[in-house]
Structure 1
Amino acid sequence: MRETTDGSRRGPLRTVDVARESGYSVQQVRDLERLGVIPPATRAGNGYRSYTAVHVQALRAYRGLAHAVGPVEARRTLAELRTGPIAKAASAVGAVHVRLARERDEALRAQEALRAIRTEADTGEFEHEGDAMTITELAGALGVRPSALRFWEEEGLVVPERVTSLRARRYGLSAIRAARIVAALRASGYGIPAVRDVIGSLHGLEGREEAQRVLGRRLDQIAERTVALLRAGTDLAAVVMSAEDAPHVRSEPPGQPVPSA
């Protein structure tokens, strides 16, 4: 069995070979095959699984995707890469890059909001509120559902201005800033009680420093996920092209269910 220039082997691979080359354990390889992360292995006459380099590449691609967007979405994306048209497969990978870029932009905007709050607290000067946003506009800007903003309101985290005649929520600059910071804290894994503590102490030095630490870690995590996705790029392309070389795979009907965990 010969090795290619990228270290993968030509010809049939045993489960232990795939495990060694992909960095997963033998049991993980079997589990990920069962979940549909990789195509089903062929079976020899004695019942043993037989894999190819494509399976190794799919597992490596999955590792990077799972780090970037989580295992559930990684499984769904890989299924789309193997079964959809090549244009749709390329678009799916591009969407992951766009998502990470948006998360980074929101974390940076939260940092800007924190700096503005710090300036106001230190100088006593408050910026003009400027234009307000509706709940739909703010939810869209943050990438959350309007119901999330309503929940944050119930928890006292983000307080909107109200148009009393229509009972429609409108958010001024201070509320928009608070919402950006809440969204970043929640995306970093903070529970509601912890977010409430930070938001409640933002005008104090301790609260601002804690928020700054969280946002800094958030940006570091997004950078790590982006690098993982970039490292998986070659293997993702190999998965797409291997499916392109197998027309019968591309012809599967859209909306085919993906095995869930």
Structure 2
Amino acid sequence: MSTALSVNLNKVALIRNSREGHFPDLVEFGTLCLDAGAQGLTVHPRPDQRHIRPADVFTLAKLVKQFPGCEFNIEGNPFAAPLADYPGLLSLVEQTQPDQCTLVPDSNDQLTSDHGFDLNRDSEKLKPILAKLKTWGVRVSLFMDPDREQIARARDLGVERIELYTGPYAEHFGTNRGSELLDEYRSAAHYAQEIGLAVNAGHDLNLENLPEFLTIEGIAEVSIGHALTVDALRMGMTPAVARYLSICQHSR
């Protein structure tokens, strides 16, 4: 079984935002990724617009529709309030109708996402949000830690997928702790699949640690941005996407 690669364009947007104008152009780089064979694009618009801006969501949604079989994935915190011209995650989803919406419990003051949902605390708040997403026909994935109890709660909420937060695995890769964590992720992924959830993964995956992670059977999709963008600086975007695809297509 191969694993789909969704390229996260946040860091390309971060470079663009360091100057006025639209260079680098996200549509150009999104097109390079899709032409190279990536199965989708991911964006994570935040209220502070540190990288992806609301307008980018619309232009990239339109771009992905030109590539049959490819998917557009919008990530974000469903609880974040609108700010300035950021209309809120659900407004962007409703207007652009992505294939997938990955809900992430990040706060405005976090540098990046660093934990999964605590569904003991957040389930009731999520229920009306999930109901809206379902009426729009958008597949929902919840950002989760490899915790069986929490994964069971995700299933009870009726979502189709979870995305395993892989930061700890990446941090400890190559150590005994990394091997222990890989076993934890393997157990969590298999459990999720057994109870009917598809499993995505993302955060700090790279060319070194991705092959070992994909020894976990049945990972449906990986979303990779930071490392792939760094690799693109070294080798170009098209060769970088090709390297990641070669790993994903040989996953077992």
Q: TM-score, normalised by structure 2?
A: 0.23
Q: Which has the larger radius of gyration?
A: 1
Q: Which has the higher contact order (CA 8 A, sep 6+)?
A: 1
The structure where helix makes up a greater share of residues is 1
Q: TM-score, normalised by structure 1?
A: 0.23
